Structure 1
Amino acid sequence: MTEQLWIAGAGGVGREALDTALAAGVPVAGFLDDRAQGSLVRGLPVLAPAALPAGAGYLIGIADPAVRGRLAALLDGLGGRPVTLVHPRALIAPETELGPGCLVMGGAYVSSGVRLGAHSQVHYNATVGHDSLLGERVTVYPGGNVSGSVLLEDGTTVGSNAVVLQGRKIGRGAFVGAAAVVTRDVPADTVVVGSPARPMDERRGGR
C-alpha cells in the first residue's frame, strides 16, 4: 500500500499543496490544522497537528516561515518525516538539491546548481536562477523572480512578481514586497518595497 501524506495547514497554500500532490500522484491522508480540526476540507479529514501518526510523512502548506518552523519542530518531535513535493509541471534543473519538506508548485523553474533548504517553497510560476542558495523556510511567492547566485537566508520571503537581481543577499527573516526590484543587499528582518526596493520606513519618510 502506498504511504499517504499529511499536509499541515488547511488554508490556501495547504490546498495548493494538495493540488500539487494530486498532480504528482501522491496520495494525501488529510490535513493537520488546529483551527479546522474535526472538519472536512476538500473531502479530507482535518486533525490537530499533535495527532500526526508516528513515522508518517508530512508537508507544511503554510506560507509564514515562522509558523513553518514551529510546526516542523512539533511534527519532527512526534516522529514525522518531512516529504518534498514537486508538481510535474515544475522544472528542476540538474545539480540542484531540494531539502526535506520543500514544496515546488506548477510552472515553477528552479535552475541548475541551486540549493533549497528544508521546508522552503517555490510557488507557481516563480523562478530561481542558477547557483542560488535558499536557506531553510524560504518562500518565493507566485511569479517571483530570483536571479542567479542570490543568497536568501533562513526565513526570507520574496513577494509575488518581485525581482531579486543577480548576486544579491537577502538577510534572515527579511520580506521583499510584491513587485519590488531588489538592486542591493537587504538586511535581516527588513521589509523592502518599491523599485528600486528600499526599506519601508525610508519610503514612508520620503527619503
Structure 2
Amino acid sequence: MTDPVLNRAWLTQDWSVNAGAPRLQLMLVLFRLAQALRRPFDRRCRIIALPIVVLYTWYAEALCSVELPVRTRVGPRLRVRHGFGIVFNDACVVGADVEVRHGVTLGNKVEGGACPTLEDGVSLGVNATVLGGVRIGRGAIVGAGAVVVHDVAPGVTVVGTPAKPV
C-alpha cells in the first residue's frame, strides 16, 4: 500500500468502481483528500487538514452512515455498495479491489486488540462481521451475515456464524 499523496490519481482512485453512486464517490474523494492532508503529521498539515477531516467525518458518518477513520490503511479501488451501517476500525488493513456492502463491521474483539487484514479482491456480504487479528485471503468471499473470527484462505467462500468454508 502506498502512502497518501495529494494528486488527482490518489483522490479519484475509487471513483470508477463506485460509478452510479455519487454520494459514495464524494465520500471516498473526501476520505483520500483527508488522508493526503493528514500526512506528514506535523503541526502545519494538521491545521490545513482539520476542516477537511471534520467535513469528511461529518459527511461520511451523518450522510453516508459509514465509519471509515482517516488513519485506516485502504488500498485502491475500494467499492462500497449502499454504504449504510459500515464500520471500519482504524487499525484495519484493507487491500486493493475490496468490496463491502451495507452493515459490514471490521473491528477488534477487545479494545486495543488486533484488527482484521483484508487482502486484495476480498468481497464482504451484507452484515458480515470480521473480528480480531484475522487475515482474509486474496479473492475470498465472506457471505451475508457471516461472523469471521478465524483466518480465511485465499479464494475460499465462508458463510455462517461462526463462518465456515462452503
For residues 169 and 138 of structure 1, the distance between their equivalents in structure 2, rounded to whole angstroms, comes to: 13
- CA deviation after TM superposition for structure 1 residue 112, in Å: 5.9
Q: Letter of the aligned partner of 2:101 in structure 1? A: Y
SS in 2 for 1:196: coil
The two structures, once aligned, show a CA RMSD in angstroms of: 2.7
Decide whether the 8 Å contact of 1:158 with 1:175 is kept in 2. yes
Bigger share in helix: 2
| 1:197 matches 2:157 | no
Number of the residue aligned with 2:51? none
Number of the residue aligned with 1:168? 134
For residues 137 and 130 of structure 1, the distance between their equivalents in structure 2, rounded to whole angstroms, comes to: 19
Bigger share in strand: 1
For residues 131 and 140 of structure 2, the distance between their equivalents in structure 1, rounded to whole angstroms, comes to: 16
For residues 146 and 122 of structure 1, the distance between their equivalents in structure 2, rounded to whole angstroms, comes to: 14
Q: Quick one: structure 1 residues 108 and 192, their matched pair in 2 at CA, closer, same or farther if it must change by over 3 Å?
A: same
For residues 57 and 156 of structure 2, the distance between their equivalents in structure 1, rounded to whole angstroms, comes to: 31
Decide whether the 8 Å contact of 1:87 with 1:106 is kept in 2. no
Higher relative contact order (CA 8 A, sep 6+): 2
For residues 65 and 149 of structure 2, the distance between their equivalents in structure 1, rounded to whole angstroms, comes to: 25
Q: What is the TM-score of this pair, normalised by structure 2?
A: 0.61
SS in 1 for 2:20: helix
Number of the residue aligned with 1:90? 60
- Give the unaligned 5+ runs of structure 1: 27-85, 92-104, 201-207
Decide whether the 8 Å contact of 1:117 with 1:137 is kept in 2. yes
Q: Letter of the aligned partner of 1:181 in structure 2? A: V
Number of the residue aligned with 1:66? none
Number of the residue aligned with 2:39? none
Number of the residue aligned with 1:106? 64
| 1:15 matches 2:20 | yes
For residues 8 and 87 of structure 1, the distance between their equivalents in structure 2, rounded to whole angstroms, comes to: 22
Q: Quick one: structure 1 residues 87 and 114, their matched pair in 2 at CA, closer, same or farther if it must change by over 3 Å?
A: closer
Number of the residue aligned with 2:38? none
Decide whether the 8 Å contact of 2:24 with 2:80 is kept in 1. no
Q: Letter of the aligned partner of 1:150 in structure 2? A: P
Superposed, 1:151-166 pairs within 5 Å as 151-166=117-132
Q: What is the TM-score of this pair, normalised by structure 1?
A: 0.50
SS in 1 for 2:145: coil
- CA deviation after TM superposition for structure 1 residue 161, in Å: 0.4
Aligned residues: 118
Percentage identity across paired residues of the two chains: 32
- CA deviation after TM superposition for structure 1 residue 87, in Å: 8.8
